Amino acid sequence: MFCLLWPVQAFAQDQARLDASEQAGFSRLILSFPNRQNLPAYRVQLENGVLAVTFDTPITLPVPELAAVLPDTIAASRLDPDGRGLRFGLRGPVTVSRIEAAEKLFIDLLPPGWQGMAPGLPANVVADLARRVQSASLRDDLRRKAELVRTLNPQAQLRVGRNPTFVRVEFNWNVDTVADFALSEGKARLDFDWPVPIDLFALQADLPVSINDVDNQVDVEKSVVEMTLGEGVAPRYYQTSPRQFVLDFDLDPAEGVAAAIAAEEAARALGLAESPSPDVVVQGEVSLAIPDQPVVPKVSAVGNTIRIAFPFERDTASAVFRRGEALWMIFETDATIAAPEDRAMLDAIASGFAVIPSAETVMVRIDLKEERLATLGSEGRSWVLSLGDALLAPSAPLVLERRRTVDGEFEMAAMLAEAARLHDFVDPDLGEHLQVVTAYPPARGVVRGLDYVDFSLLRSIHGLVLRPRGDGLAVALEDGNAVIRAPGGLRLSPDEGSRVLDRNEPASRRVGFLDLASERQDDPAVMMQRQETLMAAAANAEGPQRDEARRQLAQFYIANRMGPEALGVLAVLEGNGASAAQRSRVALQRAVADILAHRPADALAALGAPGLADQVDMLFWRSMARQMAGDAAGARADAIGAESALSDYPGWVGVRFLLSASLAALDSNDLASAQRFAGAIDLSLLDRTQTTTYQLINGRIAEAQGRSDEALDIYGAVMAAEIPPTRAEAVYRTLDLLNRLGRLDVPKARETLAAESLMWRGDGLETAMQALLVDLNFRSGKYREGFETVRDAARHAASDRTVNALLDRAQAEFRALFLDGAAAGLPDVEALALYYDFRELTPPGSSGDEMIRKLAQRLVKVDLLAQAGDLLEYQVENRLQGAAKAQVAADLAVVRLADRKPEAALRALNQSRLAELPPDLERQRRILEARALIDAGRAELAVDLLQRMDGRDVTLLRVDGLWRAGQMVRAAELLEALYADAPLPLSQPARMNLVRAGVGYALGGDQLGLSRLRAKYADALAQSAEWSLFDFVTGTVTTSSIEFKQVARDIAAMDQLSAFLGAYRERYVESGAVTPDRPSASGSA
pLDDT in tens, 247-290: 988 877 555 555 555 555 544 444 433 333 323 232 233 333 33
CATH architecture group of domain 153-262: Sandwich (2.60)
Query: What distance in Å separates the CA atoms of residue 956 and residue 63, rounded to the nearest whole number?
Result: 32
What average pLDDT does the structure give for the chain?
81
Query: What distance in Å separates the CA atoms of residue 866 and residue 1082, rounded to the nearest whole number?
Result: 11
Mean pLDDT value across residues 171-180: 91
Query: What distance in Å separates the CA atoms of residue 818 and residue 835, rounded to the nearest whole number?
Result: 8
- 944 within 8 A of 951, measured Cβ to Cβ: no
- 4 within 8 A of 20, measured Cβ to Cβ: yes
pLDDT digits (tens, 9 = 90+) for 755-773: 776 665 556 777 788 788 8
Contacts for 635 with CB less than 8 Å, ≥ 6 apart: 622, 623, 624, 626, 627, 660, 661, 664
Distance set, CA 959 to CA 132, 412, 930, 943, 972 (Å): 50, 81, 11, 9, 8
- The model's pTM is 0.45
pLDDT band with cut points at 50, 70 and 90 for residue 498 = very low
Estimate the share of the chain in helix, then strand, then coil, as percent rounded to the nearest 5: 45, 20, 35
Same fold, 3-121 and 153-262: yes
HSE at residue 428, side-chain half, CA atoms within 13 A, is 8
DSSP 683: G
Contacts for 212 with CB less than 8 Å, ≥ 6 apart: 228, 229, 230
pLDDT digits (tens, 9 = 90+) for 564-614: 988 888 888 777 665 555 677 788 888 888 888 888 888 888 776 554 556
- Give me the sheet containing 382-388, strands edge to edge: 298-302, 305-311, 382-388, 373-379
Other beta carbons within 10 angstroms of residue 347's beta carbon come to 14
Other beta carbons within 10 angstroms of residue 81's beta carbon come to 17
Q: What is the dihedral of CA 823, 825, 828, 834, to 10 degrees?
A: -40
pLDDT digits (tens, 9 = 90+) for 967-999: 888 888 888 888 877 888 888 888 888 888 888
Query: What distance in Å separates the CA atoms of residue 619 and residue 597, rounded to the nearest whole number?
Result: 18
DSSP 387: E
Where in the chain are the domains? 3-121, 153-262, 745-841
Q: What does 650-678 look like in DSSP terms, one character per residue? A: -HHHHHHHHHHHHHHHHHTT-HHHHHHHH
- 363 within 8 A of 330, measured Cβ to Cβ: yes
pLDDT at position 1066 over 60: yes
DSSP 165: S
Query: What distance in Å separates the CA atoms of residue 1031 and residue 243, rounded to the nearest whole number?
Result: 95
Would residue 415 be called left, alpha or beta, if left means φ above 0 and alpha means ψ between -120 and 50 degrees? beta
CATH assignment, 3-121 = 2.60.40.3500
Q: What does 320-370 look like in DSSP terms, one character per residue? A: EEEETTEEEEEE---S-BPPPS-HHHHHTTEEEEEEEEETTEEEEEEEESS
Contacts for 458 with CB less than 8 Å, ≥ 6 apart: 321, 434, 446, 449, 465, 466, 467
Buried-state track 422-452, b at ≥16 Cβ within 10 A, e below 16: bbebeeeeeeeebbbbbbbbebbbbeeebeb
Q: Which amino acid is at 317?
A: A
Contacts for 856 with CB less than 8 Å, ≥ 6 apart: 868, 871, 872, 891, 895, 1074
Give the orientation angle of helix 952-964 with respect to helix 968-978, to 10 degrees. Answer: 160
pLDDT band with cut points at 50, 70 and 90 for residue 525 = confident
Q: Give bridge partners of residue 157 from the DSSP assignment.
A: 172
Q: What is the dihedral of CA 125, 126, 132, 137, to 10 degrees?
A: 170
pLDDT digits (tens, 9 = 90+) for 95-118: 999 999 888 999 999 998 888 888
pLDDT of 106 reads 93
Distance set, CA 20 to CA 17, 47, 66, 71, 137 (Å): 10, 21, 8, 11, 33
Query: What distance in Å separates the CA atoms of residue 260 and residue 253, rounded to the nearest whole number?
Result: 11
Burial class (CB in 10 A: 0-12, 13-18, 19+), 400: middle
Burial class (CB in 10 A: 0-12, 13-18, 19+), 1046: exposed
